[in-house]
Chains A and B, each alone.
Chain A
Amino acid sequence: MTLTRISRRTIVKAGVGAAVGTTALHLGARRAPAVIRRQGEVKLTFAAIKTFGPDYIAEILGQFEEENPGITVEYIELPTPNNSTEVHTYLVNSLNARNGEPDVFTQDCIWIPEFGGAGLALPLDDFVTDDDKAAYFPGLIENCTWDGKIVAWPWMVDGGFMFYRKDLLDKYSLEAPTSWDELISSAQQVVEGEGNPDLAGFLWQGKQAEVLVCNWVEFLGSAGGSTLDGTTVTINNEAGAKALQLMVDLIYEARVTPEAVLTYDEEPSRIPFTSGNAVFLRNWSYTYGLAQDAAESSVVDKVAYAPLPHFEEGRSTSCLGGYQYGINASSKNPEAAYKLVQFLSSEEIQLKSSLSPGSSSPTRIAVYDAPELKEANPFMASLKDIFTGSTPRPIHPAYPQMSLAMQSGLSSALANQMGVQEALDSIAQQLTDIIG
């Protein structure tokens, strides 16, 4: 294992050397003084969202500096993904200042076309090789591409799952549901049988926020629908109506979802679940680590997970989430910046960071097969197949605008302020205007 890693790194280094040689010329033509590379003088800034263990990023940056004498990295800590608007604001402000700071940044996968399209993220096509691309989930490389250019590089991936109380399903001799009808009837049966007024059937995230769109993408995909096909809005059809009707019916007809989900983003939905007050929960992968942590959870060893249910005509869909690296187009040291990206996304670092519980999921396929991971974090190792088929949100530079329109329309339907069809009409109209 160690041997292959070293040899891989050497090969990659050689490859990058060649690539850097050509790009240096290419870039040199555009901004002459910036490309002077003298050892001991390169200082990078790296703006990353806060992830797990407190010193985790600082620690691996130390390793990078050790392995690359002459390059120092200053770490700018951004808030967490659930503060994604603040992270976005920071990136908009700092990238738009176009002064090369930060050299490397992390971005939500939904902003890639936006920053790529605005020319704020450096195209990486001159750096990366086909071998590099083949090492990752194919959907991710696609997600990092805008207008034919690779403008981001995969860091971590996430997706929506169905978590459930295995002990309760066993008690009523139920299997993990694969269709929505099964989920509804199982939830009703368990809630009725338990007779606990605090026990909810199925929790998800219905707050007027980005996470509502993630939930929507999953419901929609499970009905066989999609939001965009190229530049055509495809949301307003039978599949769309079916998906949205289900979300409304879960709350008001089947009554397995409490009305409170209208206020829930990730944590408010996770807390009742790990406190033992919900049978099913849709959430990101971080839930599992917390459910197994006795300090946080009353349901240790009682929780299992499965792909989300689906309709007859659709398939189980997991919304593609995660954060990816980007290099500032104004970076004064693009080669060193790429070196950092390459180090951070290397198999060694991805494996290292995936070993602790509650950490983020790797984007390199090979990491999932590493025996260390299977032993230390079997949950994560088992996610490979789910991530392979995850579904992205609409890929478009104006996605943030589209998301606002969807949040507003979906929330109106969930709060019974609009009928399902009326909400879909309104969303479709707004999306068409935005794409225009």
Chain B
Amino acid sequence: MQRQVGAQGFAFALLIPAFVLIVGVALWPAAQTMWMSLHKASMIMPGTEFIGLQNYQKQLGDPRFWNAWRNTAYFTVASVALETLIGLIIALVLSQEFPLRGWVRAAVLVPWAIPTVVSSRLWGLIFNTDFGLANYLLRSAGIIQTDRNWLGEVGVALNVTVLVDVWKTTPFMALLIMAGLSTIPGDLYEAARVDGANMLQRFFQITVPLLLPVLLVSVMLRLLDAFRVFDVIYVMTGGGPADSTEVMSTFTYKILFSATQFGFGSSLAGSMFITLLAVSIVFLYALRNRLEVE
């Protein structure tokens, strides 16, 4: 009993530094924003008025909100799915022994090391209609006959931003999966090989189940991140053309800092938060066994 209390006290002591930071710098301002979402308030005009959930009601009737929501959902699902797939392939390749592996590993991380502000501009230049590398290469290879207007075409632009996000963040995914792969004991494969399991069987019966928790956590972290995508879209398209790449973050940013509608903007942030909470609950349910202390 005594030891139990001591251990608990020790556990809480270990948590103090992390929680001071998290509560003070993230949760407290976030709580302020949530409280503000219940007000009619401007960012710059003095005076606020408590209006309950009216801002949230207003969202539901605002076509801009639903448009941003749809685009965000599409962006999130598409980019995380691709990142997971490519990240898994890269991680599997890089966990094999081969010459120059160290260099290949370093190379894989390059996209991620370039500030997003820069990589978005870089890709903007590559996808430029008139003098971009993409059109030039595709035309030279005979894949397209005439130049595509990648970022100016409704329905295409959002996919280009997905591609850029995938390029940028797949290293993150690959790194987490590689780290996860490294925790799988090598003798398990050895034993399976002795039992006559082929490569596919070994992959699905050892790698997948043992990797699943890491994979789920990584996918969840990426989902939370992709849902809040900002820089890529802000720099490459500004939400256009015709709002076809407007996502929740860019829309919220515009409402908060351009239109200075503090209350309404905060409620948009609140809606993003609620959505992410719901997504996390689903994942946490899937991960519940890992979270419980046996």
Contacts and interface: CB of A to CB of B under 8 A. Distances in A.
Answer whether A and B touch in the complex at a CB cut-off of 8 Å. Answer: yes
Given A208-B237, A403-B258, 16 more contacts: A85-B253, A92-B43, A115-B44, A118-B44, A119-B46, A198-B130, A200-B130, A207-B237, A259-B153, A260-B149, A262-B240, A408-B64, A415-B242, A415-B244, A417-B241, A417-B242
A120 interface: yes
A263 B259 contact: no
B239 A118 contact: no
Contacts of A411: 240-243
A261 B260 CA distance: 29
Contact of A85 (B42, B64, B131, B257): B257
Interface in B145-161: 149, 151-154, 157
A89 interface: yes
18 contacts: A117-B45, A118-B42, A208-B237, A208-B241, A258-B149, A260-B152, A262-B152, A263-B124, A263-B149, A263-B240, A263-B241, A265-B238, A408-B243, A411-B243, A415-B241, A415-B244, A416-B154, A418-B242
Interface string A396-436: 00101101100110011011111000000000000000000
B254 interface: yes
Interface in A187-215: 198, 200, 206-209
A209 B149 contact: no
Interface band, chain B: 20 to 34
Interface string B15-47: 000000000000000000000000000111110
Chain B interface secondary structure, helix, strand, loop or mixed? loop
Interface in A60-92: 85, 88-89, 92
Given A208-B240, A208-B241, A262 B149 contact: yes
A120 B239 CA distance: 30
B129 interface: yes
Is chain A's interface secondary structure helix, strand, loop, or mixed overall?
Answer: helix
Nearest to A275: B131
A133 to B, nearest CB: 27
Interface of B: 42-46, 64, 124, 128-131, 149, 151-154, 157, 237-244, 253-254, 257-261
A259 B241 CA distance: 11
Contact of B44 (A96, A263, A272): A96
Interface of A: 85, 88-89, 92, 95-96, 114-115, 117-120, 198, 200, 206-209, 258-263, 265, 268, 271-272, 275, 277, 398, 400-401, 403-404, 407-408, 411-412, 414-418
A408 B259 contact: no
Contacts of B131: 198, 271-272, 275, 277
A95 B257 CA distance: 13
B32 to A, nearest CB: 14
B136 to A, nearest CB: 11
Contacts of A198: 130-131
A400 B265 CA distance: 14
Contacts of A400: 258-260
Contacts of A417: 154, 241-242, 244
Contacts of B130: 198, 200, 258, 260, 272, 277
Contacts of B260: 92, 114, 400
A170 B129 CA distance: 29
A200 B46 CA distance: 50
Contacts of B244: 415, 417
Contacts of B261: 401
Nearest to B127: A263
A414 B259 contact: no
A92 B243 contact: no
A258 B258 contact: no
A404 B254 contact: yes
A117 B258 CA distance: 15
Contacts of B258: 85, 88, 400-401, 403-404
A259 B44 contact: no
Contacts of B149: 258-260, 262-263
A59 B242 CA distance: 44
